[in-house]
């Protein structure tokens, strides 16, 4: 299943892998593994790992044309 979103926290919550893409020209920048395990619940959003992955993605996408 492929889910396209611009919401970083949504992607981290839903995905096992996240592909960071650039839009001009369209290309894959990087694929990240999301080490949160299953099943996920609202408590998942409070974990350090959730914050760490979200922050990593935010830092990697700074300056990209999304």
pLDDT digits (tens, 9 = 90+) for 28-61: 889 999 999 999 999 999 999 999 999 999 999 8
- Residue 46's closest CA among 4, 13, 15? 13
What pLDDT does residue 65 have?
Answer: 59
pLDDT category of residue 23 using cuts at 50, 70 and 90 = confident
- Please state which of the ranges 15-19, 22-26, 55-59 shows the lowest mean pLDDT: 22-26
How far apart are the C-alpha atoms of 24 and 35, rounded to whole Å? 29
Q: Is the pLDDT of residue 66 over 60?
A: no
What pTM does this model have? 0.85
- Torsion angle, CA of 27/25/4/13, rounded to 10 degrees? 60
**What's the rounded mean pLDDT across residues 14-41?**
92
Instruction: Confirm if 2 and 11 have CB atoms less than 8 A apart.
Output: no
| Backbone dihedral region for residue 36 (phi beyond 0: left; psi -120 to 50: alpha; all else: beta) | alpha
């Amino acid at each position: 299943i492929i889910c396209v979103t611009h919401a970083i926290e949504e992607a981290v919550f839903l995905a096992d892998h996240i592909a960071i893409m650039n839009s001009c020209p369209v290309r894959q920048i990087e694929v990240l593994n999301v080490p949160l395990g299953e099943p996920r619940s609202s408590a998942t959003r409070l974990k350090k790992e959730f914050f760490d992955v979200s922050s990593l993605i935010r830092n990697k996408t700074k300056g990209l044309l999304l």
